[in-house]
Structure 1
């Protein structure tokens, strides 16, 4: 019986419609032996062939075919694990607050272009961060900011991203790819066509996965953009610094040597941006390990 369940499991995974085909064959076989002519209106030739190939149907002395283990097939069909995973709920889990954060993040991007947006944000944040520059050099202040942004980014991703839903999306795509590979290996063109249609539908459903991934990002951007605009104002990324009274000491970088913070280290990307991202990536990895926070689906 366990062997029969394994065969049924394999067939249903290869072709989600095989479950209905098996049920129809069982119903027809209750009246005696079953032949292709008895089921051709409901089954494809490929499905019929797979049932014989897998040994679900066995020859009945030339008079047709019998179901080898009807009780085992019925029991296997009652197993919920046989069902091909449905697409996760496409409804967005975004709240009105998430949508408000998205609007706020987009509005703050204007700060990179317009002084009227950048300067008020920088002035507000300077009330909090300005005193840090009296205690620490600029490179250390950037490290503190990278640690802070890495911490709330990790916590937001952990709490706002539904890993279960993300796992379902990835599991569904993996299942389709495996079934497509198996159908291609056995040359089943009918199954390949059905799987191709499912794959196209699944790709459209992936919009839901994108929404889940982007949800914490709007909050991260809402909190991080003001920090970036403050550093932007301090170093004077495009023009004179907003706070000329703050003296920034040049920093020593590998290979480049002693350079100013506005020096283009990687093409047009300046030193302060590179330093921030390096610190942020390092602190984020350490925080995830230290707090044992999973930010990717398993």
Structure 2
């Protein structure tokens, strides 16, 4: 849905009476049935045409938001009537962030609790050993036939694949894009009202901005929902790699001598457990290099979207 449609939805969310006002404007301007305009002109409308059904405040808001624009002194024209009709026919309301699409299910909440319960494995050695040995049942067969750096490649590709799939399927990117566009529109209208010194408009926009805060909360929930599943699946992978290399607390190392080094771009041959710059391990850098690269390849090849779309 385009910008005009989003403005129409925003007005209806702000005040449901705008649904009737927009319907009246479309009808009186000749757009309700999309009927042709005589002589190839433009459908226009004046205040006198709708004053019996619209308040002056509603009329002013339609002009302020750009839904009605000046038609060269011959009244006002309706901007993108198709988008407005689509917005009025859409039963979803942007400000309703507690719907089924953006709400967390019981499984989502359980996944979040399970992911939180795994975090101590990074610092507490007995928990790390338990999680590492359990994960070794899955990753051990790969490690038995491949060098550790090759296993890291497999794990980075695997985590990148399910991360993209989870984000693409659990996030409503179109809704997030609509919320983002709505907030940008509010900011633009606020700036314009401030420049022309319209205090009444600023008050209305301030109220609308406060109402839109719930939309932003919904967008954050949309973004974080797949993250709990990604963490639940990824923490055991990282704990296993920590357990395998023996870092973070001086645990036993489970890498044979022949697999201890790797050649990194621009850095040359380095030990996997060596730290770059004194704060990040070589094997971790290797993981992120592969993960970032393959994530982009996976996203492009599968044509998946993980960011808000307009």
Q: Provide the TM-score with structure 2 as the length reference.
A: 0.71
Q: For residue 39 of structure 2, what is the aligned residue in structure 1?
A: none
User: Are residue 87 (structure 1) and residue 95 (structure 2) matched?
Assistant: yes
Q: For residue 109 of structure 2, what is the aligned residue in structure 1?
A: 99
Shift in Å at residue 86 of structure 1?
A: 4.2
SS of equivalent residue, structure 1 residue 289: helix
Q: Taking structure 1 as reference, are residues 29 and 280 closer, same or farther at Cα in structure 2, changes over 3 Å only? A: closer
Q: Taking structure 1 as reference, are residues 21 and 287 closer, same or farther at Cα in structure 2, changes over 3 Å only? A: closer
Q: For residue 174 of structure 2, what is the aligned residue in structure 1?
A: 164
User: Are residue 219 (structure 1) and residue 229 (structure 2) matched?
Assistant: yes
Shift in Å at residue 94 of structure 1?
A: 1.1
d(CA) in 2 for partners of 1:180, 1:227: 47
User: Are residue 187 (structure 1) and residue 204 (structure 2) matched?
Assistant: no
Shift in Å at residue 107 of structure 1?
A: 0.5
Q: Taking structure 1 as reference, are residues 26 and 157 closer, same or farther at Cα in structure 2, changes over 3 Å only? A: same
d(CA) in 1 for partners of 2:298, 2:109: 28
Q: For residue 275 of structure 2, what is the aligned residue in structure 1?
A: 264
Per-residue CA shift, 1:246-287, capped at 9, x if unaligned?
Answer: 333212223433322222214411111111111111111000
Q: Over aligned residue pairs, what C-alpha RMSD do you find?
A: 3.9
Shift in Å at residue 128 of structure 1?
A: 2.2
Shift in Å at residue 196 of structure 1?
A: 2.3
d(CA) in 2 for partners of 1:139, 1:133: 9
Greater CA drift, 158-167 or 248-257: 248-257
Q: For residue 34 of structure 2, what is the aligned residue in structure 1?
A: none
d(CA) in 2 for partners of 1:148, 1:165: 28
Per-residue CA shift, 1:167-209, capped at 9, x if unaligned?
Answer: 2211221221232233234332221222123223323431111
Q: For residue 38 of structure 2, what is the aligned residue in structure 1?
A: none
SS of equivalent residue, structure 1 residue 158: helix
d(CA) in 2 for partners of 1:260, 1:55: 70
Q: For residue 36 of structure 1, what is the aligned residue in structure 2?
A: none
SS of equivalent residue, structure 1 residue 252: strand
d(CA) in 2 for partners of 1:132, 1:21: 65
Q: Is the 8 A contact 2:264 2:286 kept in 1?
A: no
Q: Taking structure 1 as reference, are residues 133 and 87 closer, same or farther at Cα in structure 2, changes over 3 Å only? A: same
Q: Taking structure 1 as reference, are residues 192 and 236 closer, same or farther at Cα in structure 2, changes over 3 Å only? A: same
d(CA) in 2 for partners of 1:29, 1:168: 31
SS of equivalent residue, structure 2 residue 256: coil
Aligned length: 265
Q: Is the 8 A contact 1:261 1:270 kept in 2?
A: yes
Shift in Å at residue 113 of structure 1?
A: 1.5
Q: Taking structure 1 as reference, are residues 132 and 182 closer, same or farther at Cα in structure 2, changes over 3 Å only? A: same
User: Are residue 283 (structure 1) and residue 294 (structure 2) matched?
Assistant: yes
d(CA) in 2 for partners of 1:88, 1:266: 48
SS of equivalent residue, structure 1 residue 195: helix
Shift in Å at residue 93 of structure 1?
A: 1.9
Bigger-Rg structure (1/2): 1
User: Are residue 297 (structure 1) and residue 308 (structure 2) matched?
Assistant: yes
d(CA) in 2 for partners of 1:291, 1:266: 36
Shift in Å at residue 292 of structure 1?
A: 1.0
Which ranges in structure 1 are unaligned for 5 or more consecutive residues? Answer: 1-7, 31-38, 59-66
Q: For residue 219 of structure 2, what is the aligned residue in structure 1?
A: 209
User: Are residue 141 (structure 1) and residue 151 (structure 2) matched?
Assistant: yes
Shift in Å at residue 148 of structure 1?
A: 0.6
Q: For residue 209 of structure 2, what is the aligned residue in structure 1?
A: 199
